[in-house]
Structure 1
Amino acid sequence: MKFQSEGLISLKINDDIYDYKLYQSLESLARTKSQRRSAKELNISHTVFNRRLLKAEQKLGLKITQKVGNGTLLTEAGTDLLNEYRKYIIQIKKTSNINIAGGHISSGLLESIRQPFNINVYSSSDKDAFELAKRGAVDILTLDDPLIAYELNIDFTPIAYDYLVLISNPNSKEIKSINDLEDLEFVNVEGSAQRLAWNSLEHYDINYSLKHTVNSQFDAFKLVKNSENLYSFLNASYFKGNEILKFDTRHVISVIKVNEDKPEVDEFIEFLLNDGQELIEKQGFTLI
């Protein structure tokens, strides 16, 4: 798809203009995972909400939503569409606030401890957040997994530790040892620290398969909880689960200073490393 800006609240895609109402709907749906809840949130009928999505899909020639259980999730195309709009909004929004973009886990952490700073937090995958940083659209890049920084030899500042836990349906077989992971089917989360889990399974010569790939850990959690045959490794700071790979998957949550010209950026990072550590610990992370 070819994206082009159009005014302040629209994007032109393949010569068709999509106004803010569509993106408002996608933003809400990404959060609620329910068309009915999103319709209520936007104060429109479920019929109007559904018609808005279907009309966009017909014009795009792409599915942007998918039914999962009793809810509705964005497809990869829908997520890409929403992310492009988010990038555009960040770029045109001139503000004295600190603009932060990052992975779902790390950005969620900073969103929860935002006081006393004025910050705007945009949640995506590490990869998409890095693209925003390259454009100079954000002041701070925050990473769920420092892999990108390692690969490009970019200096980053660790602010916390986290690890992955095994998530399963209450009726799934009990996992007591590494060998019990043999031949299980997993839900993969794009751009997350899960690579540490897959590397560990390969290290232990465990056969496994990635049955589904989703865009967020919350989507993975929902899929797993609705199936006795699916498993996933998710961040212990947000989810409770089996700690069988705790030490194999320990990793840092980090930030990268992108904007060198805002003193507030340095002040915020200094806060995270000092007074903010107590707040970080309360959010379920391990201190540096």
Structure 2
Amino acid sequence: MKFQSQGLISLNINGDIYDYKLYQSLESLSRTRSQRKSAKELNISHTVFNRRILKAEDKLGFKITQKVGNGTILTREGLDLLEEFQKYIVKIEKTNNLNIAGGHISTGLLESIKHPFNTNIYSSSDKDAFELAKRGAVDILTLDDPLIAYERDIDFTPIAYDYLVLISSPECEEIKNISDLNDLNFVNVTGSAQRLAWTTLRHYDINYNIRFKVNSQFDAFKMVRNSKNLHCFLNASYFKGNDILKFDTRHVISLVKVNEDKSEVDEFIDFLLNDGQEDIKNQGFTPI
């Protein structure tokens, strides 16, 4: 797939132009996980919203959304498309807005919080966002897992707590005890806080088999739910599952100040640590 930027905020993908309306739809859907809620947010009908998505999928030749329970989430391809839009925004934005980049969980949280700041939020993996931060392309780096900061002795500010839940294939037997995890097959999400689950299993001398590795928690969820004998550990703030390792996998969602000369950076973080904590709680995270 070949991407080229066109106009203020549109992309040329294999000769077809995808404009700001599609970007708005994908960005909203990534937060609400509901076509109806996104349609209401964008002040259009659900029919128009759905048609916009279907038209884009028909032109692209692949699915960019998928049904999950009563909601709708972006596929890996949909997330990639949204990221391309967001990368372009970061490149062309020359205002005083706060440019923020980070993992899907932490940026999803920030996008859901009502605040008085003008922000551009780029969602990717912790690793990719860290590369942007090293180049000075963003003002704030958000981390789904503080490991990158720990490894490099970088100061970070916790803004919320999260933990991991066990997601299992529909046909699997219910897991009631940690010993029931012995010899099970798992999907590993690269760069996620899953490292805490693997450390815990080793601590309890539980043998586990990593059968697949993916880059997205949403890909892992889809893979597990469509299989007969797979499991994975995903963030409780986004997924409902078995909280058997709740206390062992508790971790912080954090921010790193990249541009310390910008006064809005400290103001934004201060807001999140005070007035924003109620919204953080409402989004399924544990406040600091």
- TM-score, normalized by the shorter chain, greater than 0.5: yes
Q: 1:198 to 1:68 in 2, by over 3 A?
A: farther
Q: What pairs up with 1:71-150 in 2 under 5 angstroms? A: 73-74=75-76, 83=83, 86-150=86-150
Q: Give CA deviations for 1:170-194 in whole Å, capped at 9, x if unaligned.
A: 4321111112112212222222111
Match of 2:60 among 39, 43, 53: 53
Q: TM-score, normalised by structure 1?
A: 0.76
Aligned residue for 1:163? Answer: 163
Residues 223-242 of structure 1 mapped to structure 2, 5 A cutoff? 223-242=223-242
Q: How does 1:188-199 map to 2 (within 5 A)?
A: 188-199=188-199
Provide the aligned C-alpha RMSD in A: 3.7
**AA of the residue aligned to 1:141:** L
Q: Distance in 1 between matches of 2:207 and 2:118?
A: 47
**AA in 2 matched with 1:53:** L
Distance 1:66 1:212, change over 3 A: farther
2-structure distance, mates of 1:67, 1:10: 19
Offset from partner CA, 1:195-237 (integer Å, 9 cap, x none): 1111222222222222333332233223222333121111122
Instruction: Tell me the alpha carbon deviations over residues 102-129 of structure 1, each in whole angstroms, 9 at most, x when there is no partner.
Output: 1111111111113222222221111111
Aligned positions, number: 272
Q: 1:7 & 1:67 partners in 2: Cα distance?
A: 25
In structure 2, the residue matched to 1:57 is none
Distance 1:40 1:168, change over 3 A: farther
Question: CA separation of 1:50/1:3 partners in 2, compared to 1, >3 Å: closer, same or farther?
Answer: closer
Question: How many angstroms apart in 1 are the aligned matches of 2:275 and 2:85?
Answer: 34
Query: Do the aligned partners of 1:186 and 1:211 also contact (CA within 8 Å) in 2?
Result: yes
Q: In percent, how many aligned pairs have the same letter?
A: 67
Task: Confirm or deny: 8 A CA contact 1:159 1:273 kept in the other structure.
Answer: yes
Q: What are structure 1's unaligned runs of at least 5 residues?
A: 55-63
CA contact (8 A) 2:75 2:218 kept: no
Cross-structure match for 2:44 = none
Q: Is the 8 A contact 2:114 2:279 kept in 1?
A: no
Cα deviation code 1:49-72 (max 9, x no counterpart): 456435xxxxxxxxx879999999
Output the amino acid matched with 1:184: L
Note closer, same or farther for the CA distance 1:252–1:19 as it changes in structure 2 (3 Å cut): same
Q: Secondary structure at the match of 1:141?
A: strand
Deviations 1:122-175 (A, max 9, x none): 211111111111121211111000000111111100111111111123432111
CA drift at 1:12: 9.8
Report if the CA contact (8 A) 1:9-1:19 is conserved. Answer: no
| Counterparts of 1:109 and 1:130, CA distance in 2 | 18
Question: 2:123 corresponds to which letter in structure 1?
Answer: S
Query: What secondary structure, in the 3-state scheme, does the structure 1 residue paired with 2:286 have?
Result: coil
Q: 1:130 to 1:175 in 2, by over 3 A?
A: same
Q: What is the rounded CA distance, in whole Å, between the counterparts of 1:241 and 1:44 in structure 2?
A: 32
Structure 1 position 252, deviation (Å): 0.8
Tell me which residue corresponds to 2:41. none
Residues 42 and 92 of structure 1, relative CA distance in 2, 3 Å threshold: farther
Which residue in 1 is equivalent to 2:38? none
Q: Which amino acid aligns with 1:180?
A: D
- TM-score of the two chains, using structure 2 as the length reference: 0.76
For 1:7-26, what aligned pairs fall within 5 Å after superposition?
A: 20=18
2:283 corresponding residue in structure 1: 283
